[in-house]
Each structure stands twice: as structure tokens, then as C-alpha cells.
Amino acid sequence: KMLKDAFIDTEIQRIRTIVGPVGQVVGAVSGGVDSTVAAKLMHEAIGDRYATYVCYCEHCGADTLICCHPATSFHAILVDNGVMRLNECASVKKMLGDKMGINIEVVDASALFLGRLAGVTDPERKRKIIGNTFIEVFEAEAAKIDKKTGGGKIEYLLQGTLYPDVIESISFKGPSATIKTHHNVGGLLEDMKLKLIEPLRELFKDEVRALGTLLGLDDELVWRHPFPGPGIAIRVLGEVTPSQVEIARLADHIYIEEIKRAGYYRQISQAYAALLPVKAVGVMGDARTYEQVIALRAVETKDFMTADVFASAEWFLTLKKISSRIINEVKGVNRVVYDISSKPPATIEWE
């Protein structure tokens, strides 16, 4: 614990030294543990200090005043890409903004993302569209914040990069080695000339979780399953339409709710529901139905590079209950299947 306390103090000092007395930092947050722990560290370092730059003053309304009220130098941005989990943006804003006091801006770009995804079925194209649109939206928002804080003051970009991400980006070089394009905001560097601050780049996931606990983050946040940047778009197989996203989102919500209720959430490393691009025949009362299929995935893994299907006799009984809840509550679904593949040869996500 002493070592971890020392890590926090050293990191906070290091951030303050790098950013200096007037520097400003932007950072994308997703509600995941990595970006939240990184944001919390940044907030502790520079989140609430007396700003001395020339800016638009929110208190007195004047345009070029030297502000002397406590102001934040950290600006967290949450981009709503339209393919996030149910109520995700509101709950992240509540947790990071209201509870943790982080200065967070939510940008609703869902229509833009969903518009660009219309008609696209190829998984790699989905990832690229979402990655590029994300950078575009983030940049525009960062530029707005920059203008608001006097212009040219934002010099740094906070990223929640972990040690395995660093290793992976070194070892997976060249398109032939790319299994899936994992998007991150590294591209911003070139365009915005921002300097990176990565306080977690020497840590593994379990260390980040321990750090999160030490920083006072709620257990629910610290132990959250990972969620991919391209979100539900790679869990709606085939074309991503708003109504397909709604089906996958609701099924996923029910699935995770029941997993938590049954006490399995911490044992499972990652679980989610995917919507398959097929229709199946079923029966409801006296009538034949012809509707869609949900696939449930739950894996156990240490490093997400390999993974085993989560399985036990008791778990199977929980799955049966979840299946009937999804079929009863999610309109358009009449069948639920469980994915029993390991990684490799399968991957954790279907796309």
C-alpha cells in the first residue's frame, strides 16, 4: 500500500511538473476503469487550481480577464458515439462529474456516427469509421475548449494507455499482423500537436484496479468489464441501424443485470450480448414467429489475449433464466444462444 501511495504522489507531482502552472490538458473518457483512473489522477494533480491565464471568465462574463477564481486545467471529454451501453453517458457523467468532481463535457455525436455507419457491414470498416469519426469529434471539442480557455493553452492529451497496450503496439507492426484494428486516440498527436501524458503506461490491469480502489473509486467502476471502443457496432453483426443497436443494447443490459444479481460479475472477465444477422423460426401462443437471435458471450481470462468460455452447471441455470427474460422483454428476438468458443481460435468479440 505504501508503494502505491508513493506511486500516486509521484505521479501527481510528475504531472504538475510536466503541465506547469498554466498548461491545460484534454482527455477522452469512456467510463472504463483505465480512462477513469487516469482522469482521477489528472484531476487530483491539476483539476482544481487557481488559473492565471487570460480567458473568457464564466463568473463575470468579460472576455479577456485574468481569471483569479479556482478553475480547472483538466478537461475530460466523453463522446457519445450512439453505440454505447444503455444509459451509459448519463451514468458516466454522474459518476465522474457529479461524484468525482471531474470537469467533464459530454458530446452527443450519435447521429453523426450512426449516419456514417449506415449500410456498412464489414467489421474493419466499422472500426475505421468509428475511430476516425471519434478523432474528428474529439478534436472539434478540444478546439472549442481551447478557444474558451484563451487559445493555444491546451498542450497535453491524457491517455489511459496500459503496459500491455504499449507491448501490443510494439509487437503488432504492419497490416499483415493486424487481427483487428483497436482504435485509440493516438492519431490526435500528429494533427493537434498535443503531447501525450500516460500515467498508467507501466501498469497492468490488476495494478490499475488496485490504484482505482486506492484513489477511492467505487468498486462497481473498478471491477467493470472492458468495453470496446467501437461498442455495440461490433456486437450488431451486419448492418448497424438504430433499431438493431436498441435490440442488442437492451439484451446486453438484461444479461449484465442478471449476471450481477446472480453474483457472477466478478468471476466473469467479460460478458456481453451480440445480435446475430440471422432470423429463426419460433412459436408464440398459437402463432409462428420469425425473429432475430441473440448470442451471449462470457469469458474468463487474465490478459484478454487468450480466453476460456465461462461455464458451470449452476451458470447454465442462470443462462436459462436470462434467455427467457431476453425473449420476453426484447421485441424482435425469439432465440438466445450461448457462445462456447475459446480464444483462440475465436476472439472475444464476434467482429
Per the listing, cell 490538458 goes with 25
Provide, rounded to whole angstroms, the least separation between the CB of residue 285 and ligand XMP: 38
Closest CA to 270 of 236, 224, 315, 218: 224
CA angle 339, 341, 347 (to 5 degrees): 100
Tell which positions 57-116 bind ligand XMP, by CB under 6 A. none
DSSP state of 85: P
Contact flag: residue 228 with ligand XMP (CB under 6 A): yes
Provide, rounded to whole angstroms, the least separation between the CB of residue 30 and ligand XMP: 8
DSSP state of 32: S
Q: Which of 165, 230, 292, 333 binds ligand XMP (CB under 6 A)?
A: 230
Contact flag: residue 348 with ligand XMP (CB under 6 A): yes
Nearer to ligand XMP, 48 or 207 (CB): 207
Contact flag: residue 164 with ligand XMP (CB under 6 A): no
Contact flag: residue 270 with ligand XMP (CB under 6 A): yes
End-to-end CA distance of the chain: 40
* C-alpha–C-alpha distance, residues 282 and 111, integer Å: 34
Per the listing, cell 456514417 goes with 116
Question: Is residue 87 a contact partner of residue 56, using CB atoms and an 8 Å limit?
Answer: no
Would strands 154-158 and 195-197 be described as parallel, antiparallel, or unpaired?
parallel
Nearer to ligand XMP, 35 or 73 (CB): 35
Nearer to ligand XMP, 98 or 124 (CB): 124
Contact flag: residue 339 with ligand XMP (CB under 6 A): no
Contacting range for ligand XMP; rule: CB under 6 A; set: 79-87, 180-188, 235-243, 276-284:
180-188
Q: What residues make contact with ligand XMP under the rule CB under 6 A?
A: 127, 180, 182-183, 226, 228-230, 270, 304, 343, 347-349
